[in-house]
Structure 1
Amino acid sequence: MDDQSKNLILATAMSFAVILVWFLLFPPSEQAPTAPVATETSQPATPGTATSPTLAAPDAKPRAEALALTQRVAIDTPRLGGSFSLTGGRIDDIQLLNYRETIDDNSPTVTLFSPAGAAQSYYALYGWSAAAGTAAAVPGPSTQWTVESGDKLTPATPVTLRWDNGGGLIFRQILSVDENYMFTVTQTVENTTGGEVRLAPYGIIARHGMPADLKNFYILHEGVTAMTDGTLEELKYKALKDLEPDPNEGGALTQHLAVTENGWIGFTDHYWMSTLVPTPGQSFNAVAKYTPATDTFQTDVRMPVMSVAPGATVESSTMLFAGAKVWSLLRDYQNEKGIDRFVDAIDWGWFFFLTKPIFRALHVMHNLLGNMGLAIIGLTFLIKLILFPLAYKSYVSMSKMKALQPEMEKIKERTAGDSMKMQQEVMALYKREKVNPAAGCLPILLQIPIFFSLYKVIFVTIELRHAPFFGWLRDLSAPDPSSWINGFGLLPWAAPDHTSMIGIISIGILPILLGISMWLQQRLNPMPADKTQAMIFNWMPWIFMFMLGSFASGLVLYWVANNTITFVQQYLIMRSQGVKPNVFENVTAPFRRSKKSG
């Protein structure tokens, strides 16, 4: 067998091995079991400290019942619906109006925040802590606020809440929201006492119990995400449970991430995020903690202690992002509001230098073509165009090697029994004809990091969620829903779930096209004479077909498009070099060989 075939087998085998390892390490995600859910009632911050309160949790109630327990103010924006509670001023009822739980048009909209006392309660809360030496009552999680102005929170109408502590301090919260997902909460305190008071404002995001839709997928970060002066820090929920108790935090497992002047902290899910964003330039302490007794995860931003002179009023503003991780919106917030590296709230992974440009290219293609499937195909053309010089050189080298086959056969006959001399003459032939025997595998190897990066982009970015292509492919972030087991929808039963063992083999139309395209691409070259090597080549496309059948259909679409373009490229380049691949003869050769052996 010639070196070209050996290199092609090596490259294909390496691709297979890497993707197999990837498949084993990162299997299709399964929904994690829902952890026992705690809900909460809260206690005010302890006077004399400048920390945030520790939240407690009674038994859970149905969501509608928990919402009805407190007075509420409606939230109404183009992207958000819900309400916030006058108890504690909690922002605790958020619906993402542009997103549904499934691709069904009648599916419920996605719920982000739920109130204290409900299953999976998840909310934002603001207040003040009294510093050492100040014994004044301060607003906390159980404070009953009154509405001073505004009857509904909209982009055009902010709402102001007021609470008088009865001891000479008047607190206000001014809540505003934009047309997307960003709230601004401005806290003020007016001192009508005769002496100075020292107070520290804080913001909290709390969620009780593990998220019900936690993916537990190695490729995806879910949990705390923080940016502290240019450093991205990530803590999974399990990592929070492994922290050390902090006596200054009531024994809660706590990590003080940093004292920073530019940054943010919050919780990130697969597609959604809640993030506290102090005004850029405002010094704050970022804290993540977990309270085992109440099964409460919490992120805090704690601002420095502020001195409020008699007759004076001070204020502190903090932004709250609560919504979908849409790249263009995060980029705009980053650029327009100066939020440091806000687009890195999306989990770009270790290969961010590939995933970021790949996503941006997809984004541009989607804006131009209006269809994410067409954008993936367009991206495939773009990648092939970028790699064309290398591919051209590789395929020219392969063509020259084919042209040298008669001369190599003569060398083998002439040096029969002397492998060292044969190798020397073959290498001299390559050098004389300027042929690189290793060039044939480079295009295949370069596809591996691109493949993995595209997989990451398709899996983590919300722009691919529920993105349709054509026909039966209504969600490119999910596996092809068709299956040969039900005759591709012609038979009256559902296809097996792709996370089951039988589901892995019940592949659909797109994976089958992948196998066929890879098989035809192989047939540009004759099969190796060695039976073992020929068997590996024959089985490889079909193994890949079943392996990738459970992957996102957008990724399989990329692979089919890539194989098709590669086939055309290689065929035309080989013909331009005087080599005429006989694809039909190579396709039928295994069958003729089998007939002869029979």
Structure 2
Amino acid sequence: MDDQNKNLLIATALSFAVILVWFVLFPPPEPTVNPDTAVPAASDGTTPTIATTPDTAPGSTAVVDQTGPAAVEDAPRVPIETDRVIGSISLVGGRIDDLSLKNYRVELEQDADIVHLLNSVGSQSPYYALFGWAPGGGLTLDDVPSASTNWTVESGETLSQNSPVTLRWENPNGTVFRRTIEIDEDFMFTVTQSVENASDTAMTMAPYGLIARHGEPTDLKNFFILHEGVVAMADGTLAEIDYSDMTDFAVVPTEGARAEVTQVTESGWIGFTDHYWMTTLIPEAGTPFRQVAKYSDASNIYQTEAVQPTVTIEPGQTREVTTQLFAGAKEWETIRDYQEEGVDRFIDAIDWGWFFFLTKPIFWLLHHLNLLIGNMGWAIIGLTLIIKAVLFPLAYKSYVSMAKMKELQPEMEKIKERAGDDRQKLQQEMMEMYKKEKVNPASGCLPILLQIPIFFSLYKVIFVTLELRHAPWLGPFQDLSAPDPTSIFNVYGLLPWAAPEPGSLLALVFIGILPLLLGVSMWMQQKLNPAPTDATQAMIFAWMPWVFMFMLGGFASGLVVYWIANNTITFTQQYLIMRSQGYKPDVFGNIKSGIKRNPKTGEK
């Protein structure tokens, strides 16, 4: 076996092994469950137990709110409508519990339902935001508004951009609580809570905001490559907590549930992240607060809280505090803009993974290529061209070395004859020849090895970023985040019905156009060199492209487009460089030779 073929075999086998392990550990995700038909998570119908005072607050107690579904469903509502969202605010608790994203649909079809993000108590999957004040210093629950308080509208009719709404409630002592809610052109709510102390004594209380979720999301993917659950930033430290980890929290008596508490000194945020959507509480920058991630065993409710320091309002004094709530799509540009406006490291709410140093620049480049070209499929191909251009100096050295190895093939055969069975002598003479001719036999592996982390990083980008969701390319490929939708069953996209379900046995057997092109591109790349003379090695080479074809057939079609483009460019580069060095690959001759061989034994 010559060293060039040996190195190529090692590199190919290594990349095959890595992708195989990746495929086993991180298989393509199961199809998303339609929330309209999903079985709702278990819930007792009540709102959560809310620990709303900081540890330093005098008389700190948990506020238990048992507002039932009927009270919320029958309550008056304030409409929410902008160019991007639509929903309503319940006047019971002043909760933001009804919100849909007008620019996003559940399915690819144009008439599919728009994405419903927040839901009220009594729905299949209650998910909402609450704000309020926790009593301290001798105050009782009757002195402050709770999640069951009936608010009135003081000003505003519909919450929209540049049109805020103010809610009002007065306690038995005449103290007035107001809540002014604003929304911008995207997904950021600004909630300003104020207290006007009309009593003759000082009042001590702590402002809070919380996001409650009854049960796990019905469309939870439970996919290793994707984080879904709590996402939080505390003074520059990112925390990601899965739902399953929350149920293992230790019980904290002061919280009345299983909880993890973090004290933030300067800046941070906390909330829940889904695959493409997110809700996040963001206190004012520079304000210390307590982050709480909480799970209640009794009610099966997951909760995040931002509890700010206790304040004292003197008689006749008015105090106010402002908290922002992001509730919407994890659009890179939108989140980046909020970060530039002061939300600390908000871009990290997107799950970039361990290889963030690769995934972030890869996505940045892909995003701007898409803006320039106007098509994500062509942007992926453009990204491939740029990556290959960056790696070209290394590829050039590698292919030049491979061409020289071909020229040295007769000399290598002579050395093998002289050395016979003396392996030490063989290796010694080979190394002397490599040194003399300035050839590195391992250089052929490097381009393949460098492609592995890039491949994984691009897979992460394609799977987790919203910009790839429902991104069209051409023909039947209208969602590059989904597997190839073509198959022999729909005559490769010519007929209107769907291909077999991704992940099924039929989908693995009757693969689509893109996996076929992937297999052919790998096969053509192999044919730049003659088949190895060793029967076992020849058999492995013969089957490798088709094994990869079936393995990657269920991956996101955008990733397969990248791999096809990468193979095509690599073939072209290698062919031209090897010819420039005096070696002329006999592609068609190698194809004919391969056809004559027995695919099981590699023999002619």
Provide TM-score, normalisation by structure 2: 0.95
After the TM superposition, which residues 67-86 of structure 1 pair with which residues of structure 2 at under 5 Å, given as runs?
Answer: 68-86=73-91
* Match of residue 41, structure 2, among 36, 45, 51: 36
2:63 aligns with 53
Give CA deviations for 1:400-423 in whole Å, capped at 9, x if unaligned. Answer: 000101111122222223332222
2:537 aligns with 533
Q: 460-469 or 35-44: which moved more?
A: 35-44
2:170 aligns with 164
After the TM superposition, which residues 214-363 of structure 1 pair with which residues of structure 2 at under 5 Å, given as runs?
Answer: 214-250=220-256, 252-336=257-341, 338-363=342-367
Give CA deviations for 1:315-354 in whole Å, capped at 9, x if unaligned. Answer: 0000000000001111100002x11100000000000000
Give CA deviations for 1:15-73 in whole Å, capped at 9, x if unaligned. Answer: 00000000000112225774533232578889975566345475x78xxxx87521000
Whole-angstrom distance in 2 between the partners of 1:422 and 1:579: 25
CA contact (8 A) 2:528 2:587 kept: yes
2:219 aligns with 213
CA contact (8 A) 2:48 2:301 kept: no
* Match of residue 414, structure 2, among 406, 410, 414: 410
Whole-angstrom distance in 2 between the partners of 1:479 and 1:44: 43
Helix, strand or coil: the match of 1:525? coil
1:302 Cα deviation (Å)?
0.3
Cα gap change, 1:49 to 1:86, in 2 (>3 Å): farther
Counterpart residue identity of residue 305, structure 1: T
Counterpart residue identity of residue 109, structure 2: D
Helix, strand or coil: the match of 2:103? strand
Does 1:497 find its partner at 2:497? no
After the TM superposition, which residues 448-467 of structure 1 pair with which residues of structure 2 at under 5 Å, given as runs?
Answer: 448-467=452-471
1:131 Cα deviation (Å)?
1.2
CA contact (8 A) 2:51 2:255 kept: no
Whole-angstrom distance in 1 between the partners of 2:99 and 2:62: 23
Whole-angstrom distance in 1 between the partners of 2:513 and 2:143: 66
Whole-angstrom distance in 2 between the partners of 1:297 and 1:44: 11
Counterpart residue identity of residue 528, structure 1: P
Structure 1, unaligned runs of 5 or more = none
Q: What do you get for the CA RMSD once the two structures are aligned?
A: 2.0
Whole-angstrom distance in 2 between the partners of 1:42 and 1:242: 18
1:117 Cα deviation (Å)?
1.9
Whole-angstrom distance in 1 between the partners of 2:389 and 2:596: 37
Counterpart residue identity of residue 149, structure 2: T
Whole-angstrom distance in 2 between the partners of 1:235 and 1:41: 22
Helix, strand or coil: the match of 1:119? coil
Whole-angstrom distance in 1 between the partners of 2:219 and 2:372: 33
Give CA deviations for 1:434-487 in whole Å, capped at 9, x if unaligned. Answer: 000000010000000000000000000000000000001000000000012443
1:366 aligns with 370
Q: 186-195 or 482-491: which moved more?
A: 482-491
CA contact (8 A) 1:395 1:573 kept: yes
* Match of residue 151, structure 2, among 145, 148, 158: 145
Cα gap change, 1:386 to 1:53, in 2 (>3 Å): farther
Does 1:10 find its partner at 2:10? yes
Does 1:123 find its partner at 2:133? no
2:388 aligns with 384
CA contact (8 A) 2:133 2:145 kept: yes
Structure 2, unaligned runs of 5 or more = none
Cα gap change, 1:462 to 1:183, in 2 (>3 Å): same
Counterpart residue identity of residue 427, structure 1: M
1:492 Cα deviation (Å)?
8.0
1:97 aligns with 102
Whole-angstrom distance in 1 between the partners of 2:459 and 2:192: 41
Whole-angstrom distance in 2 between the partners of 1:451 and 1:203: 41
Helix, strand or coil: the match of 1:378? helix
Cα gap change, 1:221 to 1:19, in 2 (>3 Å): same
Q: What is the percentage of aligned positions where both structures have the same residue?
A: 60
Counterpart residue identity of residue 542, structure 2: N
Q: 570-579 or 484-493: which moved more?
A: 484-493
1:493 Cα deviation (Å)?
5.9
Whole-angstrom distance in 1 between the partners of 2:576 and 2:464: 37
1:21 aligns with 21
Cα gap change, 1:321 to 1:386, in 2 (>3 Å): same
Counterpart residue identity of residue 417, structure 1: D
Whole-angstrom distance in 1 between the partners of 2:65 and 2:276: 26
1:257 Cα deviation (Å)?
2.3
1:588 Cα deviation (Å)?
1.1
Whole-angstrom distance in 1 between the partners of 2:502 and 2:52: 52
Helix, strand or coil: the match of 1:195? coil
Cα gap change, 1:506 to 1:268, in 2 (>3 Å): same
Does 1:587 find its partner at 2:591? yes
Whole-angstrom distance in 2 between the partners of 1:276 and 1:52: 20
Helix, strand or coil: the match of 2:42? coil
Does 1:478 find its partner at 2:479? no
1:394 aligns with 398
2:450 aligns with 446
How many corresponding residue pairs? 591
* Match of residue 472, structure 2, among 465, 468, 471: 468
1:516 Cα deviation (Å)?
0.2
Give CA deviations for 1:71-92 in whole Å, capped at 9, x if unaligned. Answer: 0001011111011111100001
